[in-house]
Amino acid sequence: MPPASPRLADNLDDDDYPAYTMGRAAEMLGTTPAFLRALGEHRLITPLRSEGGHRRYSRYQLRIAARARELVDQGTPIEAACRIVILEDQLEEAQRINEQLRTQGPEPQPKTSA
C-alpha cells in the first residue's frame, strides 16, 4: 500500500474538513437530510459543496447539528434551537479568548515622557 500523502493525512484530523455527505451526516445524527437543510436555511451551518454541487459536512458542523437536534428533540422550535446553539458557540469562543488573554498577562504600557 503506498504511503498516504501528508495532505490527505492532515484532513483526517481536521475538524473543518468537509468529509461527510448529506446522507451520511443525517445517518450519523439519526435525522433526515431535510433537518440538515433546515439548519442551513436558519444559517446555523453552511455546508461546503463538492464539485458536483453536493453538500459536504465537517465534524465540527456535525457537532453543532447534533446540539441543535438535542434541543429540537426537547421541544425547542428549530429557529430557537439554532439561535441558542449560535449563542452557545459565541460564548464558548469568548471564554476561550478571555482565558487566552488572562494567561498572557497584561500588555506592557508604553512609556510616556514627562
Q: What are 6's three cell numbers?
A: 501528508
Which residues, at least 6 apart from 30, have a Cβ–Cβ distance to it below 8 Å?
A: 69
Confidence of residue 7 (pLDDT cuts 50, 70, 90): low
pLDDT of res. 10:
66
Query: Cell numbers at residue 95, please?
Result: 471564554
Reply yes or no on whether the pLDDT at 13 is more than 90: no
SS3 content of the chain, % helix, strand, coil (to 5): 60, 5, 35
Residue range 16-60, pLDDT digits in tens: 888 899 999 999 999 999 999 999 999 999 999 988 999 999 999
Q: Name the percent of the chain lying above pLDDT 90.
A: 69
What is the rounded CA–CA span in Å between residue 62 and residue 25?
A: 7
